[in-house]
Amino acid sequence: MQLVIQDIKAKKIIEDGDRLVRKIGLEMARMVKKRMNEMQAATNFKDYLDYGLGKPHPLSGNLDKLYGIHLNKNYRLIVEPLSNRLDDVGLKECKNINIKGVVEYHDGKNEWLIP
């Protein structure tokens, strides 16, 4: 799969390893890079979901049509499948993912670390 980062602010942070570490710490920066590498290795987003790496799950509410991927106990990498359809067929055809950022959304919070 191909990963893109459409948000300019998020792109500057995620693509600069030193800046990423300063923003979210070494361990979480490693997990972000690990999850991104895992997604790039998958053929399509449906395959990535089926592998279950990082416990990917669809989100709802103000994060509807996005997926959360586990980084640690509280924080998730938020991604957007760039597909018109989010059913199994659409996700199998989805080969492009937009990285939205890193967020803590539990207990009614919406604390974005990136962007």
pTM: 0.94
Alpha-carbon distance of 76 to 32, in angstroms, equals: 9
Domain count, the chain: 1
Alpha-carbon separation of residue 72 from 28, 30, 77, 78, 84 (angstroms): 7, 11, 10, 13, 30
pLDDT string in tens for the chain (115-residue length):
999 999 999 999 999 999 999 999 999 999 999 999 999 999 999 999 999 999 999 999 889 999 999 999 999 999 999 999 999 999 999 999 999 999 998 777 789 999 9
53, amino acid identity: L
Domain assignment of residue 88, given as a range: 2-114
The CATH number that applies at residue 77 is 3.30.2310.20
